Amino acid sequence: MRSWLLRHPARAVLSAFLLAIVSGTVLLEIPISSTDPGSAPRLTALFTATSAITVTGLTPVDPATYWTPFGQGVILVLIQLGGLGIMTSASLFLLLASKRIGLRARLATQAETHTLSLGDLRRLVVTIIAFTVVFEVIAVAVLSVRLWTLGRSPAEALWEGTFHGVSAFNNAGFSIYTDNLIGFAADAWVLVTVAVAVICGGLGFPVWLDLRRRLFAPARWSLHTKLTLAVTGVLLGAGTVILTALEWRDEDTLGALAPGYRVLGGFFAATMPRTAGFNAVDYSVMDESSLLVTDMLMFAGGGAGGTAGGLKVTTLAVLFLVVWAEVRGDREVVAFRRRIPRSVLRQALTVAVISSNLVVAATVALMVTNDIPLSAALFEATSAFATVGLSTGVTSQLNEAGQAMLVPLMLLGRIGPLTLFVALVLRERERLFTHPEERPIIG
């Protein structure tokens, strides 16, 4: 079995996630995990464990009232493991135990973190852990101090700050407040801290490793870093402007706030679809045009190799660059004076086609099995696949069939369609001949 799992890194990644989901489900089924008498229903525990380990944030129950502190602690551990990457954590434990890591473990870690080269795994893993600890400690400290000034006891402030700080950096979106962060809609201290933590976690570890080495030499940044930062900036800026404008006069969302906090709310609403899932407004009363914009932001996702999900901004960038090159009549796809290989173009197209079809299929299935409108079904399916966690409030209303469909969708969104399909099929072959060329009519 071990040989079968490690023959290809994707198998180990998938197996590790499945093992973590099963373990989390068992722990959440223990009576001390839930406030209800007896054990939590198995599907509820499975759904929550999958949502936590895939850092999604969707939940069929209220985490603030349904789960005990022990259950919330289990969720927090699953979030941390999912954010770091199961294989990265496993490699770190192996490193501490034996101080030697084989090539197979290196390949498994590379498959999970999407690093661009194998390099020194020890240095890679330690750097990832160090970055995570630094960002999370800063977020936890700021949130804890703020909550303490709002009247929480030191213990309550530390626990709530820790939960939300870790959840924010890992782009999980889980909250132990019944209304998520709606109660902090006019609190810049909390919203800005959470938004910055989400952006930092969503950029991806390869970007931070590159910035660490060449922070003051942007000309030497990798193409991946340049594309990630550029597209992230465009999506955040455009999303903020569009969502703020659409909801500016709506008294149920941003319209009830002061002008400055409306802009802050728009920025927060544009940041969270980067697969964080926190909400400072009620999405069930948002205009459908705003929901559609949020759908697009969720599907785009964040940076590769980090805590974000979705299509990934680099994939989106490559697709647009392909279109731009075709419109201009260029034979090569170029970005920042670098030619993008054809293999990358095929991978981007494959990921986009598979992802969009999965979201469409899940949307139709939710509409059929739960009789919910298109906008709500599309929003829920996109949120699950992109591991965002935002919802219009229908998650708790889904029947068992609807919840069961979202569980594999969240896992697919976290691991990635290509990784999962490679793990299941693993048919790598090299064709020793070529076929005659013929052009079909396009358009």
SS3 334: strand
Which structural domain range is residue 61 located in?
Answer: 2-425
Q: Which secondary-structure segment (H or E) carries 338?
A: strand 338-339
- pLDDT for 20 equals 92
Residue 95 located in a structural domain: yes
CA dist 140 and 165 (Å) reads: 5
Residue 435 located in a structural domain: no
Reported pTM: 0.89
- pLDDT for 417 equals 64
- φ, ψ (nearest 5 deg) of residue 223: -60, -35
SS3 344: helix
The answer to whether residues 235 and 213 touch, using CB atoms and an 8 Å cutoff, is no
> Which residue(s) pair with 335 in the sheet?
338
- pLDDT for 83 equals 86
Report the chain (443 residues): mean pLDDT per 10 consecutive residues: 55 81 95 90 95 92 94 95 71 50 56 53 76 93 96 94 95 92 94 95 84 85 91 96 94 92 95 90 93 95 83 92 91 89 83 92 94 93 94 91 93 74 52 77 72
The answer to whether residues 54 and 18 touch, using CB atoms and an 8 Å cutoff, is no
Residue 154 located in a structural domain: yes
Residue type, 79: I
- φ, ψ (nearest 5 deg) of residue 351: -60, -45
- pLDDT for 177 equals 94
Residue 35 located in a structural domain: yes
Question: Who's near 55: CB < 8 A, 6+ residues apart?
Answer: 79, 82, 83, 170, 171, 172, 173, 275, 307, 309, 387, 414
- pLDDT for 305 equals 74
DSSP character at residue 437: P
Residue 266 located in a structural domain: yes
Q: How many domains does the chain have?
A: 1
- pLDDT for 433 equals 74
Residue 204 located in a structural domain: yes
- φ, ψ (nearest 5 deg) of residue 280: -105, 0
Residue 12 located in a structural domain: yes
Q: Which of left, alpha, beta for 34 (phi over 0: left; psi -120 to 50: alpha)?
A: beta
- pLDDT for 7 equals 55
Residue 34 located in a structural domain: yes
> Which residue(s) pair with 339 in the sheet?
334
